[in-house]
Amino acid sequence: MGEEKALALVKNPEVEAVLEALDKELVGLAPVKRRIREIAAYLSVDKLRRELNLVADRPTLHMAFVGPPGTGKTTVAMRMATILHRLGYIRRDHLVVASRDDLVGQYIGHTAPKTKEVLKRAMGGVLFIDEAYSLYRAENERDYGQETIEILLQVMENQREDLVVILAGYKDRMEEFFALNPGMRSRIAHHIEFPPYNLEELYQIGLIMLEKQGYRLTPEAEVAFKEYLERRMERPNFAYARSVRNAIDRFKLRQAYRLYQKAGPVTPEELVTITADDIYASSLFKEEEHAP
Which tens digit of pLDDT belongs to each residue from 226-284? 999 999 999 988 999 999 999 999 999 999 999 999 888 899 999 999 999 999 999 88
Residue type, position 149, single letter: I
pLDDT band for 5, please (50, 70, 90 cuts).
low
Tell me: pLDDT of 81 over 80.
Answer: yes
Nearest Cα residue to 161 out of 14, 247, 62: 62
Q: Which contacts qualify for 241-246: CB closer than 8 Å, 24 or more apart?
A: 241/70, 241/71, 241/72, 241/197, 241/202, 241/205, 242/69, 242/70, 243/70, 244/70, 244/202, 244/205, 244/206, 244/209, 245/209
Averaged pLDDT for residues 56-63? 87
Q: Are 93 and 85 in contact (CB under 8 A)?
A: yes
Residue 67 pLDDT: 94
Question: Structure pTM?
Answer: 0.86
DSSP H or E run through 183: helix 182-187
* Residue 241 near residue 207, CB atoms below 8 Å: no
In this structure, the strands spanning 164-169 and 126-129 are parallel
Q: Which residues of 229-259 are buried (b: 16+ CB within 10 A; e: fewer)?
A: beebeeeeebebbebbeebbebbeebbeeee
- Convert the pLDDT of each residue in 141-197 to its tens digit: 677 888 899 999 999 999 988 999 999 999 999 999 999 888 899 999 999 999 999
- Domains for the chain: give ranges and CATH numbers: 13-193 (3.40.50.300), 199-289 (1.10.8.60)
For all residues of the chain together, what is the average pLDDT?
A: 90
Beta-carbon contacts of 148 under 8 Å, excluding residues fewer than 6 positions away, are 103, 104, 111, 114, 115, 135
pLDDT tier for residue 292 given thresholds of 50, 70 and 90: very low
pLDDT for the residue numbered 1: 44
pLDDT for 203 equals 96
Task: With H, G, I as helix, E, B as strand and everything else as coil, classify residue 154.
Answer: helix
Selection from 67, 97, 20 nearest residue 240 by Cα: 67
Q: What is the pLDDT of residues 249-261, one digit of tens each?
A: 999 999 999 999 9
Q: Would you tell me how many other CB atoms lie within 10 Å of the CB of residue 49? A: 12
pLDDT, tens only, 96-155? 999 999 998 887 778 899 999 999 999 999 999 999 999 987 666 677 888 899 999 999
Model confidence at 291, pLDDT cuts 50, 70, 90, reads very low
pLDDT of residue 284: 86
In this prediction, residue 290 carries a pLDDT of 45
Q: Single out the residue of 46, 2, 20, 13 nearest to residue 189, CA to CA.
A: 46
How high is the pLDDT of residue 289?
55
pLDDT of residue 141: 63
Could you tell me what percentage of the chain is helix, strand and coil, using 3-state DSSP and rounding each to the nearest 5?
55, 10, 35
Portion of the chain with pLDDT greater than 90, in percent = 71
